[in-house]
Structure 1
């Protein structure tokens, strides 16, 4: 069911007219009672009752709010005009907020793509864009948004690994923008029938579950150490190669294969060591 606008009447002029008509009807009733006119009394009482029933057609619409109108269970239309409004007194209204709202899901424990348990939570920013769908397509659209958002978060978290294992692979920790966009699309797909537009969905908490957090931390530290050592060794080999090429070009020192190997070994020890080397001064011959 799609939203359909319906016209409403400004409530202030109608209220003034009804109050004036009630005052006139009361005056006629008093006059009829004084004359003992039974017909006049009946007409005046009927008029007062009809005017009181008409007062039931007043309702308020606040900014960024919609009033969904129905007549004996049938959807009539939606009023978004602000202020005091008046419609058929037999219409029933249900107010729906059109303001932008947000909520943070609870910390969910799920298994990521590799099977490791993780904790994940997200912040979802949403807004009702079709009041008729929000009221009539689901029982409670706010509860529907919360439950479906958490379900989409679980499905999304299980489709990506926590850490990036190879170049170009999307993971929860290394690609937050892509993951958030996927999450937003998943939630929007689930909430389309509820007249809700998902403005933004972002991961607010991401961590390994407590039972494996320490082991995963050690693995991350080991990976970091291996990566750092690999980079150091690559740089050291490049520097040694450059030093040998410069010595060969300049011809300052002639080294045979054995002393070249010793020089390479010493340079690699100095460059790759995690501590500052201790210099040794040779006061004798060159060799």
Structure 2
């Protein structure tokens, strides 16, 4: 006997979203926020949310606030029919797919959420204002969906950190859940931007995950060993134009000193052909150290561990 999964309710306006939310049997709702072009990484987020909650809402919204004037908003892939197929297979209840005038009814918002100093380093240094746009739309979508939990991938580590800080600092009644980075069989982190890569670019891009693995394998020997091992992989690939390779504290994004022992984030960004890719791995530095899937919920000491 073949079973079929019902297609999600699709809401395009605020009123349609509210009606769809009212039609759910429970208030136990999780949200997965996307910009479309869904892939297995998004499906993993949806399935993780589905395991813990009665209902799942997926948002599909290409947020103009987080794209700079020279970035790829116009060419960002738009695959709504394929996105709906993934949502249906994963058991999504509601898809909220608004246009910019629905999310920003008065046009460019005069008031935005500021990411502060944490939004000005790493990705923020390369993309000024990017995280202000991210946090503004995430905050709006948390209010509009009235979700109890929101699921985000570890791949966007800085974004995840900033969303956690916003939720904590501004008292959003939402649990933020991180899900491990989903990778292709060859190790490449899944990303909607992977569709831009040529066959040659794709081979070059594998140096990012190789560098992270090398760094994690050296974690037992301390921060310098991590950085050195990862850097050695990257310098062997001249077609990868590295923006940054850092080993930083997971709460402050400050470089960890040589004496540091504890959880840290090894992150890399590089331009491969015409495409800028990011990747990272959480890890433990010091005796018994190595890669983690996601950071533990144990608070990290501001000073970064013991000497």
TM class by shorter chain equals under 0.3
Bigger proportion of residues as helix:
1
Calculate the TM-score normalised by the size of structure 2.
0.20
